Amino acid sequence: MRLQKFACFLFLLVLSLGVYAEDLNCQYQIDKNITEEVIGIRLKDTNEFVAGPELITDKFVATAGGASVEFSIINNYDFPIDANISFSVGYNCLGNYEQKRFEKTISVPARDFIRFGDTGHEGYCRDASVLMDTIKFKIFENSYYFPQKKETIEKTILECKGKNDGDICSTNLECGGGYCLKGRCNSQNACYQNDCLCDPATEVQCQDNTKCVKKKTIETASKPICSFEECITKYIDPKTGLCAESPETIATKQKVEAEKKAAEAKQAELQEQERQLLLAEKKANDDKFFLYSIIGILLAGTIVIGFFVLKILRNKKEQEKEITKQLKLRIALASKKIEIIKTEVLQAKKQKETLEKKLMELESLERDLKNTKSGLKKKQEELRQIEDEIQDKKNKHNELEANLFKKKEALQKEMAKVDRLCEELREEATKPNNNKWDFTNLVMYSKERTRKKNLYMLSREWDEKRRQKLKEADYKCQDCSISGKSLDVHHLTYDNLGHELMSDLIALCRKCHLKRESKKEE
């Protein structure tokens, strides 16, 4: 167990070091907030979201003699995990390869592991191995966490701001340091490591380490960019700052000019002597030339005739070769044109098939559009019906408000009658030898009767009678025969209160109930 935990720790340590080493390759970094969907569980006691979780399997052990496969499943979390595991095992039994699928429900304790195995075949199977890509886990809910689901989480990652110093670039925006000179990034407005990669044979680097310039390209009386090596003369006049000839070069030229004049004078003398000798030789050679010219004319005529004959023969052979070459070229072009026409025909067939498919898709889309339009019309009709029902309900509501107002006015009239009755009772009570009840007893009697009525209307006995009357009326208003609405049970008389007969009661809708109450008050 300790060896397995130590191996897991080493794996995570190597992984983190690899990530850190990868981050070191990025010289300029910025923080970036991102959101991503992660599959995980949520702990019940702390409501903390845990990505995964992932159960770790150790190395699979295969044994000979029955091809038994054993392996462990490790839980590195602080809470137990209930899951269903399924995997496939491949068996090599006497040269025949077979696969078998296994599935099992497991519960791995916190910071612990379980080991289990399976014997796939009896007999002599030399080896067996679990197929790693077939291992599947399904996490179940338990008392510690809710089951797996996708949740969106926010986290901050490091992102490269740009390329590192020394990387190849084309613009300043690509570089994290902000400068791109001579195709390499740098944090300063200068070439990377003060090396502009100039060609030493044809270029020279400027002292500000920002550019390369060509050697020996600036004429005299012109200003160089940054170095004297740009001048053809390799010298800059300190007064004007322009390319010029150096004093040493000027002195050397003057010396050469003097030597040149002396040599020319001596050469003129020698040329005069040679001219005299040539005149003498010319006279002797004129005689020889006459004789040799006659012989040459004869030889030249013979050579010219032979040359024209050979040229005519060669021209004929070249014409035949050219005609043969042109015929071959025409045949090759014709075969290429035939191949091009074949490919164009195939492309045209493919385009025709694609057009036919698109036409069929358009027809299906038109049918879907018609169906959608018909459904939309039905929805519009339903919407009109709903609007009509709403308007009816508004009208009913207005009628109920009008009835309520009438009932309020009737109640006010009834209260006025009660006030007059109380006044008459007071007057009656003040008369001598009054045989009727006094006013105080009458009020107490009225209050006691009202209290008993209210208590009875809240009792279970009244609720059972109310239900019995509604069932007897088939849950319909006994005045307007409407059904499907809330109904009231109205007393036709209170003489048998507490012992009502079904004939003393009537089932009414709210509207009819208000009408009867208003008639009773009138």
Q: What is the pLDDT of residues 134-172, one digit of tens each?
A: 778 788 888 888 876 677 777 777 788 888 888 889 888
Q: Would you call the peptide bond into 53 cis, given omega within 30 degrees of 0 as the criterion?
A: yes
Among 155-159, 181-185, 370-374, 480-484, the range scoring the smallest mean pLDDT is 155-159
In angstroms, rounded to a whole number, what is the distance separating the alpha carbons of residues 66 and 119?
6
DSSP 457: H
- Reply yes or no on whether the pLDDT at 265 is more than 70: yes
On the 0-12 / 13-18 / 19+ scale of CB atoms within 10 A, 398 is exposed
pLDDT at 65 (0 to 100): 43
**pLDDT confidence band for 8 (50 / 70 / 90):** very low
How confident is the model over 418-433, as a mean pLDDT? 60
Spell out the residues 6+ positions from residue 502 whose beta carbon is closer than 8 angstroms to its own.
Answer: 468, 469, 472
- Containing 2, the helix (H) or strand (E) segment is helix 2-24
In angstroms, rounded to a whole number, what is the distance separating the alpha carbons of residues 91 and 348?
53
Query: CA-based angle 477:480:486, to the nearest 5?
Result: 35
- What does pTM read for this prediction? 0.28
pLDDT at 15 (0 to 100): 43
Among 15-29, 179-193, 341-355, 421-435, the range scoring the smallest mean pLDDT is 15-29
SS (H, E, C) 294-358: HHHHHHHHHHHHHHHHHHHHHHHHHHHHHHHHHHHHHHHHHHHHHHHHHHHHHHHHHHHHHHHHH
User: How remote is the C-alpha of 208 from its chain's centroid?
Assistant: 46
Domains of the chain, by residue range, sit at 2-160, 162-214, 216-270, 456-522
- Reply yes or no on whether the pLDDT at 12 is more than 70: no
**pLDDT confidence band for 404 (50 / 70 / 90):** low
How confident is the model over 295-299, as a mean pLDDT? 85
- Containing 273, the helix (H) or strand (E) segment is helix 247-430
Spell out the residues 6+ positions from residue 30 whose beta carbon is closer than 8 angstroms to its own.
Answer: 158, 159, 160, 161
**pLDDT confidence band for 2 (50 / 70 / 90):** very low
How confident is the model over 315-326, as a mean pLDDT? 84
CA dihedral 276, 280, 281, 284 (to 10 degrees): 170
DSSP 42: E
CATH of domain 456-522: 3.40.1800
How confident is the model over 318-339, as a mean pLDDT? 85
- Reply yes or no on whether the pLDDT at 51 is more than 50: yes
pLDDT at 521 (0 to 100): 62
DSSP 172: G
How confident is the model over 90-119, as a mean pLDDT? 78
**pLDDT confidence band for 227 (50 / 70 / 90):** confident
Among 148-157, 275-284, 386-395, 478-487, the range scoring the smallest mean pLDDT is 148-157
**pLDDT confidence band for 443 (50 / 70 / 90):** low
Report pLDDT digits (tens) over 380-399: 888 888 888 888 887 887 78
